[in-house]
Amino acid sequence: MSGSLEGEGEKDAANGADGASGGAPQPRMAPFVRPQWKVLAVVCVTGVAYNVGMVAGPWLEGLLAQRLADILAGRAVAASMVPLACAYVAAIAAVQLMRYLKRLYVRKFANNVNRAMKRTLYHNLLLADERTLEREDVGSLMTKALSDVDDCVEGVRKFTTEIFDTGVVMVAYMAMLLAYDWRTTLLALVFPPLSYVLAARMKQPVTRATAAAKQSVSGMATAALDRVEGATSYRALGLEGVRDRLFERDLADYERKETRANVLSTALMPVYQAISLLGAGAVIVCGARDVLGVGWAAWNVAAFTTFFSVFTKLAVKSSHAGKLFNAVQRAQVSWRRIQPYMGQAAADDFAPAAEAPRFGQRLDVRDLGFAFPGEAPLFRHVTFAVAPGQVVGVTGDVGCGKSTLGRLLCGELSPTAGSVRLGERDVATLRRRGLGFASRLGHDPQLLDASVADNVLLGDDADPRPDLRRACLLAEAERMPQGLRTPVGEGGAALSGGQRARLALARTYHFARPLVVLDDPFASVDLDTERRAWQGLHELARERGMAVVVTSHRLLHFPELDGVVCLHDGTASFGPHERLMAECPSYARLFDLQANGGEVDLDVER
Q: Is the pLDDT of residue 323 over 70?
A: no
Nearest alpha carbon to residue 343 among 490, 123, 148:
123
Clarify whether residues 302 and 419 are in a common domain.
no
Provide the pLDDT for residue 486. 92
Strand partners, 451: 487
Q: Has residue 588 been placed in a domain?
A: no
- Give 144's pLDDT tier (boundaries 50, 70, 90): low
Clarify whether residues 307 and 413 are in a common domain.
no
Clarify whether residues 290 and 141 are in a common domain.
yes
Q: Quote the mean pLDDT of the chain.
A: 80
Clarify whether residues 406 and 545 are in a common domain.
yes
Q: Which of 17-31, 214-228, 494-508, 592-606 has the highest mean pLDDT?
A: 494-508
Clarify whether residues 174 and 299 are in a common domain.
yes
Clarify whether residues 32 and 127 are in a common domain.
yes
Provide the pLDDT for residue 379. 94
Using alpha carbons, list the distances in angstroms from residue 131 to 128, 177, 412, 427, 428: 8, 61, 12, 20, 18
Q: Which of 243-257, 512-526, 545-559 has the highest mean pLDDT?
A: 545-559
Indicate the Cα dihedral angle 563, 401, 20, 333, nearest 10°: 100
Distance separating alpha carbons of residues 449 and 451, to the nearest angstrom? 7
Q: Has residue 499 been placed in a domain?
A: yes
- Give 265's pLDDT tier (boundaries 50, 70, 90): low
Instruction: Report, as an integer, the average pLDDT of 484-492.
Output: 86
Clarify whether residues 442 and 308 are in a common domain.
no
Q: Which of 93-102, 360-369, 449-458 has the highest mean pLDDT?
A: 360-369
**Which comes out higher in pLDDT, residue 120 or 268?**
120
DSSP 526: -
Which residues does 238 contact at the CB level (< 8 Å), separation at least 6? none
Please provide the size of the chain in residues. 606
Q: Is the pLDDT of residue 127 over 70?
A: no
Instruction: Report, as an integer, the average pLDDT of 137-155.
Output: 67
Q: Is the pLDDT of residue 274 over 90?
A: no
- Give 208's pLDDT tier (boundaries 50, 70, 90): confident
DSSP 145: I
| Domains of the chain: total | 2
Q: Has residue 17 been placed in a domain?
A: no
Instruction: Report, as an integer, the average pLDDT of 302-317.
Output: 83
Provide the pLDDT for residue 568. 93
Q: Has residue 404 been placed in a domain?
A: yes
Provide the pLDDT for residue 30. 78
Using alpha carbons, list the distances in angstroms from residue 378 to 130, 367, 374, 375, 572: 17, 13, 11, 8, 11
Provide the pLDDT for residue 73. 86
Clarify whether residues 409 and 317 are in a common domain.
no
Nearest alpha carbon to residue 452 among 460, 443, 464, 462:
464
Q: Is the pLDDT of residue 597 over 70?
A: no
Instruction: Report, as an integer, the average pLDDT of 500-511.
Output: 91
Distance separating alpha carbons of residues 526 and 105, to the nearest angstrom? 61
Provide the pLDDT for residue 188. 87
Q: Is the pLDDT of residue 540 over 50?
A: yes
Provide the pLDDT for residue 9. 33
Nearest alpha carbon to residue 437 among 363, 521, 344:
363
Instruction: Write the CATH number for 137.
Output: 1.20.1560.10
Provide the pLDDT for residue 322. 60
Q: For the whole prediction, is pTM greater than 0.95?
A: no
Instruction: Report, as an integer, the average pLDDT of 233-243.
Output: 70
Q: Has residue 162 been placed in a domain?
A: yes
Strands 391-396 and 547-551: parallel
Clarify whether residues 333 and 402 are in a common domain.
no
Q: Is the pLDDT of residue 578 over 80?
A: yes
Distance separating alpha carbons of residues 115 and 113, to the nearest angstrom? 5
DSSP 397: S
Distance separating alpha carbons of residues 249 and 243, to the nearest angstrom? 10
pLDDT in tens, 355-382: 678 899 999 999 999 998 888 999 999 9
Distance separating alpha carbons of residues 25 and 28, to the nearest angstrom? 9
Residue 321 belongs to what domain range?
27-202+268-341
Least confident of 9-23, 91-105, 116-130: 9-23
Provide the pLDDT for residue 346. 41
Instruction: Report, as an integer, the average pLDDT of 379-393.
Output: 95
Instruction: Report, as an integer, the average pLDDT of 294-301.
Output: 85
Q: Has residue 260 been placed in a domain?
A: no
Provide the pLDDT for residue 248. 78
Clarify whether residues 180 and 44 are in a common domain.
yes
Q: Is the pLDDT of residue 331 over 90?
A: no
Instruction: Write the CATH number for 442.
Output: 3.40.50.300
Q: Has residue 384 been placed in a domain?
A: no
Instruction: Report, as an integer, the average pLDDT of 130-159.
Output: 67
Clarify whether residues 334 and 405 are in a common domain.
no
Provide the pLDDT for residue 225. 65
Clarify whether residues 169 and 296 are in a common domain.
yes
Q: Has residue 380 been placed in a domain?
A: no
Provide the pLDDT for residue 26. 60
